[in-house]
Structure 1
Amino acid sequence: MALPALKPNQLRPPAEPAKALARPRLLQRLASSAEAGCFTLLQAPLGYGKSTLLGQFARTQSGRCAWLRLTPAENQPLSLLTHLHAALGLPADHRATADAEGLWSEIQRYLESAGEPLTLLLDDLQLLSSPSACQYLEQLLHFPPPALLLLAASEGPPRLPLAHLRRDARLTLIDAHELALDSEETRQLAAAREVHLSADAVYQLRAGSEGWISGVLFWLDAYREAATNGQPPTDLRPITGQAYAHARQFLEEERLRRLKPALLGFLERTSVVQVFDAALAGELDGGAEAGEAIRQLRRLDLFIEERAGQRGEYRYHPVLRNSLYQRLQQRDPQRLRQLHRQAANWLLEQRRFAEAIYQFGRARDLDAVLSIVDRHAFDLLREGQVNALVDFLGEVAGHAGSDSFTLAVTEASTIIVTNDVAQTCQCIRRLQGLLRRQGAPRHPQRVQQTIAFLRSRLAYLGGNLAHGLEVTGRALQRFPQHNAASSVLHFDRASCLAALGRLDEARGEAELALGELQGFGLSGFTNLPQLLLGQIELAQGRGEAAWQRFLAMDSQPQASTAGSFYALFPHLGKGLVLLQANQLEQARQCLDQAERVALDFPHCAALAWVFHHQACLYWAQGETRQARTRWDEVRRMASQYRLFTLYRQAGAWRARLAVREDDQEFLLGWLEEWHWCFRHYGEHLQPEEWLAYAWVQRHLGQHAKAGQILADLREQVQAQGNHRLLLDVLLLEAGLAQDRGAHAEALGSLEQALQLASRHALGQLLQYEGDDQLESLRQLLLPQTRAQLGLVEPAPPRERLNALFRRLLAGRETAASALIVPLSRRELDVLQRMARGQTNQQIADALFISLSTVKTHINHLFRKLDVVDRDGALRSARELDLLD
């Protein structure tokens, strides 16, 4: 049998792209997965940088590394084994036998005998489909050689059994969401391509591309072409259109022209809707095989995503959807309008009103749109598809019949979630104008309540919190009618109270609003008071209650409906709980999901709020540069959209960071803002602002003033059970005591902070300023220190402290101190020998200690690492980098 031709270009990684983007977080993820013995699979559509990332990883490896890019030819076992044999660097003359089983035997012997780690990277794994070829890789997955580290990239799921790997925790799957560029990476890639974008341009690019790397590169290329004479373009719409044109050509060349006509037609017809299930796809396609078509698209990984929810919905990436839509529009515009109308009628029958509005709007049937809004305004708000409503309200402006109380009240209801200050002011003027021109509406109290909650929302967003309480108090007394508008007034009141630190009153108002809204059936908007209640629970140290609340929100159908604004809040809430619990990587993932949802809606809706919490996370992770940049961006956005409550809250955190970094320029500007607020609002400032002001006064040497502020603040937060803020107060008290040389007093404040953090699982004890106190906190755990201070309460259990803080310390401490309660030298010796597989008796013999002493050390290890067995101890030790 003739030996298959060996193609050398399949045996090397792709060349590093010019000005490639470094992705250290993903590279670390690959390294950690490989070290843990997992099969690492990068699974995403084309253009997400899978091959580039694998190539970058290959170039970071110091040991043996083999690369194999698969082609359809490798479905012949002999071709696969020939190339694998060559990739591993085995002798070329051995391949002359042209014997598949002989090659496989030699490959297996080589892998089994490898003494050092050997990394094998497989690219384009989706092209391997024949069972006769797949069986060899299946053997490597089922019975992996000890030294083999296996990584692969695939478009769509490979034809390999992976369930057993998932069961055994030996599978790391990195999908399109993780490979997508975030905002900071988008900015870095633009800078590497010598394109300097404004913040708004970055967000528009991120939202339009959803982080698809190829789409971002096409956009940057179009931007460079438009930037004549070095002047940045002012209108980004032509650039986006040009980028879409480049992407359409790319998708046409690389994928669409290779599809069968029936499948391509299915793609085109279903591109008229933003999301679809099998029933809607069948309606548009006119056939009964929609389910099979969807399965084919998922196997091909053709930019189709299944959305979480109860309906089994799917969506296309916006770039693919735009390409398909343009194909159909250019070829048959009449058919396109017919499909929009067909989709609208089907959605209307399913009572999916916001989507039906969008489709009727695309079909240019505004009369049908107005009819839906007039009859189903309440249902529209429940669906939470805010963008569809805002777009619709813009389109019908000036249209006959659009000047009505119903539309004005509907617009007001969208403002509750968009937080658009300019639109709020405009809506108040419109309602007042309608009252003057048309007299009394059908429900006059409802209109007056609507105007009141718009004003109270303005007061809350603008930072005039005491005025917000006055507006809501007067309106609730003057218009006692119970309806959704009065419930929103209670929610606005709760928001102002919570911002002022009056947590108990805020909780009562928020619970009242939530109960009424649930009674009215508004199950979408209820996520807003749910989030507020969860934040209050976190502040009061009830993290488990907050977690259960956010889990329940996430399980609601409205929370997972595709395109729903309300889907943001469970992600944000879970991120805040995980941040407080020091599970920082999981918190990052939740906040990233919240950011993705926010990008689909106007910036002032939620993006700036998500960015604020991301900045807190960056600081907790020790990434202060990113935190500073993110808070500066929050303040820019908040100022642009007049969200001054957020502006001031982000400024307070930014000032605390500026104290840490001795950023005098920022502090001088912030102090001017603080004094302006104090002159206008008096004592009615946010507790975070008072705390930051105290930190700044200490920084400026005004210790007496800082101490007085802390005394007043401590009284307030203790009365409200605000344990999280009390913890920060105690840390600053400790700092002031240290400045006076009162070492015992400082340790006393730290002892209160330590007990508080342990009792309520407050992970921020060591996240921000408190990480400077780590050594003092460790000293507090020593029996002799506690005896000297006369502390009666026992020290918090060591395993509890390590469980709460070890993930945080692992990223910034040396191996010897990666625990708040470090391992002793003997415990480290025992741990190292456990990692080598020694039994208890072998450890005792090697260290010349008794078997019972070894067991004692191992029990101490288990407690400090918060594990129950050897496997758990070794996993934790690797995570904390405690092993040689």
Structure 2
Amino acid sequence: MPPLPPLKPNQLRLPAEPARALARPRLLQQLARSVEANCFTLLQAPLGYGKSVLLGQFARSRPGPCAWLRLTAAENQPLNLLTHLHAALKLPANSRATLDADGLWSEIQQSLENSGEPLTLLIDDLQVLSSPLAYQYLEQLLHFPPPSLRLLAASEGPPRLPLAHLRRDARLTLIGAKELALDSEETRQLAVARDVHLDAESIYQLRAGSEGWISGALFWLDAYREAVGPGGPPPADLRPITQQSYAYARQFLEEERLRRLKPDLLGFLERTAVVQSFDINLARELGGRAEAGESIRQLQRLDLFIEARAGERGEFRYHPVLRNCLYQRMEQRDPQRLRKLHRQAADWLLEQRRFSEAIYQLGRARDFDAVLAIVDLHAFDLLREGQVNTLVDFLGDVAGHAGGDSFTLAITEASTVIVTNDIAQTSQCIRRLQGLLRSQGVPRHPERVQQTIAFLRSRLACLGGNLVHGMEVADRALQRFPQHNAASSVLRFDRASCLFALGYLDQARSEAERALGELQGFGLSGYTNLLQLLLGQIELAQGCGEEAWQRFLGMSSQPQGGTSGSFYELFHHLGKGLVLLQANQLEEARLCLRQAEVLALDFPHCAALAWVIHHQACLCWAQGDTRQAKARWQEVRRMSRQYRLFTLYRQAGAWRARLAVHEDDQDFLLDWLAEWHWCFRQYGESLLPEEWLAYARVQSHLGQHAKARRINANLKEQVQAQSNYRVLLDALLLDASLDQHRGKHQEALGSLEQALQLASRFALGQMLQYEGGDHLESFRQLLTPHTREQLGLLEPAPPRERLNTLFRPLLAGMERAGAALMIPLSRRELDVLQRMARGQTNQQIADALFISLSTVKTHINNLFRKLDVVDRNGALRSARELELLD
């Protein structure tokens, strides 16, 4: 028998907890849920995402025995693997000296099968296990898992283990780079842990630049500390810090990965890094290799920061930190070769009619004459593609270059503004066009230039809060220039946006539908997602949730252009999140809004992030996390003030004021009232419905009940005329509160009945998660037959399944068992339910509870009615969903 390989103790101990490690309760809870469900949990991401640290934190927090094994290439020898696995499980050391591989494996299996308590086995660096002779043992544990074993692993790239059967059987939890990436709050916490205190804008830039890669964020924080020093003032310009962090990351990637690659694969990486994204054909063109597909597969197996994006023309991209690293390598070694590669990429992209990406490559090659020629010939195609980052970067590069002061370029810049919603850029673009008119006289298409200035001014007013003025600008331009073109359609979109913000939903819908039809006729399949989002929001406000859902689902099937497809996908995810939020599917809504946030972070030239965070704040309040809601609204208001997005600033402020009333936050209310009165002096009655509603609630909170009633009555009249059921529901809840203050309990119940029927008819359950909780007991009273008869209510109460959908998130935090229903179960009904779950018959239940058989049947019928089921199986299924059983 060959001697056993020596044990390496450093492979058997948990990784050391880093100093000032970041706590990640979100991921630890996800790991715990997966382990409890007896799933194989795999953390799969490139190096530097904190996989090992997270597994170590989980092991330290886990009750019961844990075993740790970090693999090396040596474990591809079966005896090596089994020896270390035997030691990790703390099996007797003396038996290892006398056993061969088969004996070790037999003892390991026996130990796991006979274990009387759950054992958690954590395996790190699973990607190094490539030998079938070695990984067959882990494969057996996955195919035929011992009852007590809980298995977690971390891997860079997909492991060689076959996992399809686990996915089929719902026994696989895969946590990838997107889940492991830092979110904004985690980025802030990491900075604080490293004694770096950043403002929200710096945190946003750090997160956007690193895309949540923990190692990249740490390098940036190190560079920040070195640049600022202890107690130093924050720098005005963060770009030198970012560049230094890239230098640190480059050294890290060189040491840990790049120097270990074969020269041909490293060369392929460098050549394909000149483009922002690529497919196999472009990779062949740049890489000079017919087997580009195999090179890409090697990079994916190595998990070398390459992301596959299904359904897009540029289907692969590198993480920006890696791309920067590779680009700097080539720029320092062979700048002439780099420019030739840019020109080569541009020629190929032009053949594919991908003009935005070609412009970016020509700009990098410093061939501005070719850039200007493309812009002049293909301005419409550029507008249709709408590649936000590419166009904005190009416009910055070409500024000041000879020929860069053309009308064509200025109008192209305007086409980016209607996507980016950048007010500063909008103002600058208006000034540039007006200056060109003064200096160059009449352009080739004077109406188009005037229309462009008009839609920029109307967009400026719409975003800046001067909504009536925005409509007036659009109206005058449409009358003065009746030409049917894309610019007139954008003017209609601006007008629809102003109307929607002011609550005129019917007119807004008519204008938006006309603009959408026109733009679709012009072939603008990406930009139209903005109009689809507006129309979906109108449908949601008017209670047409299913129509909105189908609209947003349809976005994902529309053809997109180039990498901008990712940008336009933002509106698809945001829209779905809004529908799910209103339908009370809060966890699903969180995932959609998170995806929208990730996409917004990919486009730093776009102001969409602030809107996404606003809706996330609404979701946080609906979930009962008011601390997080306040933090997000604070961030929204900071960003919108910075970028002068005052319509959003006012909308977020109104929601935040409602929360301040809920929590009696006097300081915020005083500041907000001052802002409200300023807006009233500026715009008179033309305020947002959200502002009027919030103002009425604040007046009620301050004891001005008569004033609150007058404001609310006017608001109800307006929103009823526009079928704005979402705001109407909130106004009815406020009516109920005002009636309660006057001691008019029956009138309050009447308002709540209207609200309940409205919410049931139009699936507005999410709206009950804010102030609706204040009326919970009244709602319950309203649903009893006695109260409905006493009030003379002719319309039946909503069916139980709809009530549970409307109120379940609100009731989820109830401590008493059975309270998670609008009509709660009595203690006796709960007793009967528990015994039904144990399989007892009606007679057995009667004997055990010392009650008659008819009484048991009465309790069971009550259970069926309250759970809205028709038999025992349905009752038990519903009870488990509601966590009513022990």
TM-score by length of 1: 0.95
Partner residue, 2:779? 777
Look up the equivalent residue of 2:662 and give its one-letter code.
R
* 3-state SS of 2:492 partner: helix
For the 8 Å contact 1:810–1:879, the answer to whether it is kept is no
* 3-state SS of 2:556 partner: helix
> How far apart are residue 234 of structure 1 and its match?
2.5
1:200–1:859 CA distance, 2 compared to 1 (3 A): farther
Query: 1-side partners of 2:837 and 2:208: how far apart?
Result: 46
Partner residue, 1:206? 207
Partner residue, 2:156? 155
Look up the equivalent residue of 1:107 and give its one-letter code.
I
* 3-state SS of 2:524 partner: coil
For the 8 Å contact 1:653–1:692, the answer to whether it is kept is yes
Q: How does 1:422-821 map to 2 (within 5 A)?
A: 422-558=424-560, 561=563, 564-602=566-604, 605-807=607-809, 809-810=811-812, 816-821=818-823
**Residues 537-595 of structure 1: per-residue CA shift (max 9 Å, x gap):** 11111111111111111222318845643221111111111111222222222212212
For the 8 Å contact 2:766–2:806, the answer to whether it is kept is no
Q: How does 1:174-185 map to 2 (within 5 A)?
A: 174-185=175-186
Look up the equivalent residue of 1:592 and give its one-letter code.
R
Query: 1-side partners of 2:36 and 2:49: how far apart?
Result: 24
Partner residue, 1:217? 218
Q: How does 1:42-53 map to 2 (within 5 A)?
A: 42-53=43-54
Report which stretch shifted further, 730-739 or 552-561: 552-561
For the 8 Å contact 2:220–2:242, the answer to whether it is kept is yes
For the 8 Å contact 1:308–1:560, the answer to whether it is kept is no
> How far apart are residue 882 of structure 1 and its match?
4.2
For the 8 Å contact 1:297–1:304, the answer to whether it is kept is yes
Partner residue, 1:235? 237
**Residues 366-418 of structure 1: per-residue CA shift (max 9 Å, x gap):** 11111111111111111121121112112222222222221111111111111
* 3-state SS of 1:230 partner: coil
> How far apart are residue 488 of structure 1 and its match?
0.4
For the 8 Å contact 1:799–1:863, the answer to whether it is kept is no
1:281–1:604 CA distance, 2 compared to 1 (3 A): closer
Say what the alpha-carbon RMSD is for the aligned residues.
2.6
> How far apart are residue 432 of structure 1 and its match?
2.0
* 3-state SS of 1:558 partner: coil
Look up the equivalent residue of 2:421 and give its one-letter code.
N
For the 8 Å contact 1:572–1:594, the answer to whether it is kept is yes
Query: 2-side partners of 1:803 and 1:705: how far apart?
Result: 35
Partner residue, 1:413? 415
**Residues 734-773 of structure 1: per-residue CA shift (max 9 Å, x gap):** 1111212222222222222222222211122432121222
> How far apart are residue 824 of structure 1 and its match?
4.9
> How far apart are residue 5 of structure 1 and its match?
2.0
1:813–1:168 CA distance, 2 compared to 1 (3 A): farther
* 3-state SS of 1:436 partner: helix
Gaps in structure 1 of 5+ consecutive residues: none
Report which stretch shifted further, 266-275 or 782-791: 782-791
1:375–1:773 CA distance, 2 compared to 1 (3 A): same
Partner residue, 1:350? 352
Partner residue, 2:169? 168
Query: 2-side partners of 1:526 and 1:821: how far apart?
Result: 45
Query: 2-side partners of 1:306 and 1:35: how far apart?
Result: 31
For the 8 Å contact 2:15–2:52, the answer to whether it is kept is yes
1:179–1:859 CA distance, 2 compared to 1 (3 A): farther
* 3-state SS of 1:42 partner: strand
**Residues 602-654 of structure 1: per-residue CA shift (max 9 Å, x gap):** 46521111111111111112111111121112112111211111111011011
For the 8 Å contact 1:503–1:536, the answer to whether it is kept is yes
For the 8 Å contact 2:539–2:547, the answer to whether it is kept is yes
Query: 1-side partners of 2:183 and 2:398: how far apart?
Result: 35
**1:284 counterpart (275, 283, 286):** 286
Query: 1-side partners of 2:82 and 2:860: how far apart?
Result: 46
For the 8 Å contact 1:802–1:864, the answer to whether it is kept is no
1:351–1:841 CA distance, 2 compared to 1 (3 A): farther
Query: 2-side partners of 1:540 and 1:843: how far apart?
Result: 52
**Residues 91-132 of structure 1: per-residue CA shift (max 9 Å, x gap):** 223323323333333333333333333222222111222222
Report which stretch shifted further, 576-585 or 46-55: 576-585
Look up the equivalent residue of 2:211 and give its one-letter code.
E
1:260 counterpart = 2:262: yes
> How far apart are residue 308 of structure 1 and its match?
3.0
1:270 counterpart = 2:272: yes
Query: 2-side partners of 1:308 and 1:814: how far apart?
Result: 47
* 3-state SS of 2:123 partner: strand
1:59–1:833 CA distance, 2 compared to 1 (3 A): farther
For the 8 Å contact 1:310–1:557, the answer to whether it is kept is no
> How far apart are residue 860 of structure 1 and its match?
8.1
Partner residue, 2:391? 389
Q: How does 1:10-21 map to 2 (within 5 A)?
A: 10-21=11-22
Report which stretch shifted further, 825-834 or 766-775: 825-834
1:104–1:508 CA distance, 2 compared to 1 (3 A): same
1:135–1:536 CA distance, 2 compared to 1 (3 A): same
Partner residue, 2:102? 101
> How far apart are residue 518 of structure 1 and its match?
0.2
Partner residue, 1:118? 119
**Residues 330-355 of structure 1: per-residue CA shift (max 9 Å, x gap):** 11111111111111111111111111
**Residues 657-685 of structure 1: per-residue CA shift (max 9 Å, x gap):** 11112111111111111111111111110
**Residues 787-843 of structure 1: per-residue CA shift (max 9 Å, x gap):** 33332222212122223443564367565433444455466557656877x587998
1:77 counterpart = 2:78: yes
For the 8 Å contact 1:418–1:602, the answer to whether it is kept is no
* 3-state SS of 1:555 partner: coil
1:509–1:856 CA distance, 2 compared to 1 (3 A): farther
Q: How does 1:365-376 map to 2 (within 5 A)?
A: 365-376=367-378
* 3-state SS of 2:43 partner: strand
Query: 1-side partners of 2:42 and 2:366: how far apart?
Result: 46
For the 8 Å contact 2:313–2:562, the answer to whether it is kept is no
**Residues 239-288 of structure 1: per-residue CA shift (max 9 Å, x gap):** 11111111111111111111111111111111111101100000001110
Look up the equivalent residue of 1:337 and give its one-letter code.
R
Query: 1-side partners of 2:781 and 2:50: how far apart?
Result: 48
Give me the identity figure in percent: 81
Query: 1-side partners of 2:703 and 2:612: how far apart?
Result: 34
Partner residue, 1:23? 24
1:58–1:869 CA distance, 2 compared to 1 (3 A): farther
Query: 1-side partners of 2:304 and 2:871: how far apart?
Result: 44
Query: 1-side partners of 2:742 and 2:490: how far apart?
Result: 49
Query: 2-side partners of 1:374 and 1:833: how far apart?
Result: 79
TM-score by length of 2: 0.95
Query: 2-side partners of 1:875 and 1:133: how far apart?
Result: 43
Partner residue, 2:313? 311
Query: 1-side partners of 2:858 and 2:76: how far apart?
Result: 56
Report which stretch shifted further, 136-145 or 342-351: 136-145
Report which stretch shifted further, 439-448 or 282-291: 439-448
For the 8 Å contact 2:77–2:133, the answer to whether it is kept is yes
Query: 1-side partners of 2:270 and 2:12: how far apart?
Result: 38
1:290–1:873 CA distance, 2 compared to 1 (3 A): farther
Report which stretch shifted further, 859-868 or 232-241: 859-868
